[in-house]
Structure 1
Amino acid sequence: MKTDIVILGAGAAGMFCAIEAARRGRRVLVIDHAKAAGEKIRISGGGRCNFTNTGIAADRFLSRNPRFALSALKRYTQWDFVARVDEAGIAWHEKTLGQLFCDGPSTQIVRMLLDQMREAGVQLWLGTSVEKVEGGFRVVTSRGVVEAERVVVATGGKSIPKMGASGFGYQLATQFGLNVIETRPALVPLTFAEQELVHLQPLSGIALDARVTTGASFDEALLFTHRGLSGPAILQASSYWREGEALTVDLLPGRSLSDDLRQLRGEQPRIALRTALTRHMPEKLARRMEEVCGVTGAIGALSNGAIEAIERQVHAWQLKPVGTEGYRTAEVTLGGVDTEDLDPRTLEARRMPGLHFVGEVVDVTGWLGGYNFQWAWSSGWAAGQAV
């Protein structure tokens, strides 16, 4: 079989690239080993698909060259995708921090993309494995050999292997001489050693707003789990955290504790510190912070210096994870195909004309909250104008 373009991967970036290329009159074949297209779209956002964010900016993407993504992001913006969602009649709403979600199920986004692919004449092969890609380009699949002028690699990263994620895209990049930046799980819960879990496990299930800092600071919800920490603030921080580093957790961001403790010291000097702290946090966490602060007596015995020390501890609790939950639960993969080897306007490999890389397989990773989907739409669109 001969075609103009073969796109490897029927995820967000691959399908969007296919639509754009086919609308330009190109013959497009999309190949994916999964039985259904857009599976990560389907499960995203709790089944509501956080499809983009109003606050797209370069500093919200991690890469060796964060500005690389700007070419595509500026030419196909979040508002362009919102317009497409509106045209499809899909209702949506804005949540906190500029996150845009579908009102209904995320399968509406998948259906929109599949409908547009069909209308544009895109051919889709699902349940089809790719055995190898040879220069030229000759794509050997479980359904036969396909010859194409161009190949777009939209195979995603290693995140959520039970859905079929693999490092195939990175292998192709290496095969054709491109550099691959070290990959690791991102937007992922953090885990702790047994000696730390003894203290954290009793807090499992507690959620509260906090500020988590490790290279960058995030003010969002934090969740204690039986293995460590999760919640949006932790998932965001995980992209910046490296093994051996500690997290700084502010349990009362933007709020003062000292004045309240001094007032209680005068009014209710016999109460324990944990009792005073329950005015600001759940009881179990208050008990743990009392232990961390090393306070055993009533608050009437606390000096002003001791109260200031408690304030500092509550605003800068140091916790040291030992690892992450891994690709099993990671929302995305950090690292990937080196942007130095790609043209930012076309996503084409500089040393291999006709070979393009889009979406998560590239060393561009967004924050939690719709940023990675916008990179998928924008990079897919950019490549779709060039293939």
Structure 2
Amino acid sequence: MNADAIIIGAGACGLMCAVQAGYLGKKVILLERNEKPGAKILISGGGRCNYTNQFASAEQFISNNPHFIKSSFTQFTVDDTISFFETYGISGKEKTLGQLFPDDKNAKDVVEVFTSICADLGQEIRCNADVKDIEILDRGFKITYDKNGKNVILTAEKLVIATGGLPIAKMGATDFALRFARKNGLKIVETAPALVPLTITGKDEEWFAQLSGNSVLCEVSNDDISFEENILFTHWGLSGPAILQISSFWKRGEVVNINLLPNYNITQLLDEERKLNGKTLLSTLLNRFYTKKFTDALGKFLPVNKPVASLTKVEIDSIAQTIHQFKVKPAGDKGYDKAEVMRGGINTNEISSKTLECKKIPNLFFGGECLDVTGWLGGYNFQWAWSSGFVIAQNL
């Protein structure tokens, strides 16, 4: 045996697993098909890395079994994550909604924490290692990977698959974990892009495109859930935090409701303005909350050049409907290349929630994004990666 365990995938989960295993005196070899470890860590948060969320719990995750991650989050908590990084010189600074970023460091420093510890503990990270085959032995696993055109064979008693999900192909994402799971009879929950921009086509396409670059604080909702954050208009549709959040719950053909003024009642604002100065144009009132370009665009639906005192009840009702219940029917999404994470994955019923060991194949562990565990935007998916990596390490 070349090591106590082989970890396929040196992303967030694999790196944390290697470090925690090293603390316990276990020798592991990480195989990474990219040139460097931590590819998605390095691009996260625009290179700043939103490495956890203070409010992370099972409630912010989508899964066919919403209780599955509770054990992992109990074993390695948000406080444990914060303490871990503080130990190595990274203190968190909250940006918004509990999102923690390194205070005076960035994503490179986050990856450096792991590579430095691995070096200190003698954990090997082999990059440009493209795994071609996994053979399940009577005792352990035989891994064949390609290294510069040559096959290299490793054996270990235990195997960890932490190869992530389908986003983002240019960062080395593959369906490796899903293919291996299917080949070995494990059930898969249907996958789809999540935390992904939504596209608008057809008769409304031009209206959205003209607003490209405009950002508006909104409450975006469907029948399941709502999120209050900014939306960003683009030349192909909608993006921004609120849209990325709702995309994980959106189903093709479904209408999305957008409250364009979530913290005010437009009817009440009109009534107050009428008493103060009835000559105020509707556009003047709206410009207090939106850019002129956005107000002008709303002129397609609203009598923006009319004084508020002249508005009829029918017009006021129409204004309220447009502002607070703006309906959008996306044509689709921007796909895995623009998605931050994958929805669905290996069915968690195939995995022990306490150890993350595969029930059908002893000594095989799955962690991170390849499982049917999808977090909200804002550091939640990193927390799942850290927690799952820790849990697996305890059981190698």
With structure 2 as the length reference, what TM-score do the two structures score? 0.94
For residues 264-343 of structure 1, the aligned pairs below 5 Å read 264-265=273-274, 269=278, 272-293=281-302, 297-343=306-352
Partner of 2:146: 142
Aligned-pair distance for 1:266? 5.5
Aligned-pair distance for 1:322? 0.7
- Distance, in Å, in 1 between the alignment partners of 2:257 and 2:127 is 45
CA contact (8 A) 2:218 2:258 kept: yes
Which residues of structure 1 form unaligned runs of 5+?
Answer: none
SS at 2:230 equivalent: strand
1:169 has 2:177 as partner: yes
2:257 is matched by which residue type in structure 1? T
1:193 has 2:201 as partner: yes
- Distance, in Å, in 1 between the alignment partners of 2:90 and 2:134 is 37
321-330 vs 17-26, which moves further: 17-26
Partner of 2:39: 39
SS at 2:120 equivalent: helix
CA contact (8 A) 1:252 1:314 kept: yes
1:2 is matched by which residue type in structure 2? N
Which residues of structure 2 form unaligned runs of 5+?
Answer: none
- Distance, in Å, in 1 between the alignment partners of 2:284 and 2:8 is 58
1:212 has 2:220 as partner: yes
Aligned-pair distance for 1:361? 0.6
Count of residues paired in the alignment: 387
2:243 is matched by which residue type in structure 1? I
Partner of 1:380: 389
- Distance, in Å, in 2 between the alignment partners of 1:36 and 1:339 is 29
- Distance, in Å, in 2 between the alignment partners of 1:358 and 1:305 is 56
- Distance, in Å, in 1 between the alignment partners of 2:372 and 2:306 is 53
123-132 vs 270-279, which moves further: 270-279
Closer, same or farther: CA 27–263 of 1 in aligned 2, 3 Å? closer
CA RMSD in angstroms, aligned pairs only: 1.6
Partner of 2:93: 93
CA contact (8 A) 2:282 2:303 kept: no
1:280 is matched by which residue type in structure 2? F
Aligned-pair distance for 1:298? 4.4
1:124 has 2:133 as partner: no
- Distance, in Å, in 1 between the alignment partners of 2:293 and 2:309 is 22
Aligned-pair distance for 1:87? 0.7
SS at 1:49 equivalent: coil
Aligned-pair distance for 1:101? 0.1
304-313 vs 95-104, which moves further: 304-313
- Distance, in Å, in 2 between the alignment partners of 1:26 and 1:331 is 32
Report Cα offsets for 1:188-221 as digits up to 9, x if no partner: 1111113211111111111121111022111111
257-266 vs 372-381, which moves further: 257-266
Aligned-pair distance for 1:134? 1.1
Aligned-pair distance for 1:377? 0.3
- Distance, in Å, in 2 between the alignment partners of 1:267 and 1:209 is 26
- Distance, in Å, in 2 between the alignment partners of 1:91 and 1:72 is 23
2:114 is matched by which residue type in structure 1? L
1:139 is matched by which residue type in structure 2? I
Partner of 1:58: 58
1:320 is matched by which residue type in structure 2? K
SS at 1:310 equivalent: helix
Aligned-pair distance for 1:306? 2.7
Report Cα offsets for 1:26-81 as digits up to 9, x if no partner: 22110011000001111111111101010012110000011101100111001101
- Distance, in Å, in 1 between the alignment partners of 2:107 and 2:373 is 24
With structure 1 as the length reference, what TM-score do the two structures score? 0.96
178-187 vs 290-299, which moves further: 290-299
Partner of 1:111: 112
* Identity across matched positions, percent: 40
- Distance, in Å, in 1 between the alignment partners of 2:146 and 2:235 is 43
- Distance, in Å, in 2 between the alignment partners of 1:92 and 1:67 is 28
2:340 is matched by which residue type in structure 1? E
Report Cα offsets for 1:85-130 as digits up to 9, x if no partner: 1111123311111110012221111000111112222111101110
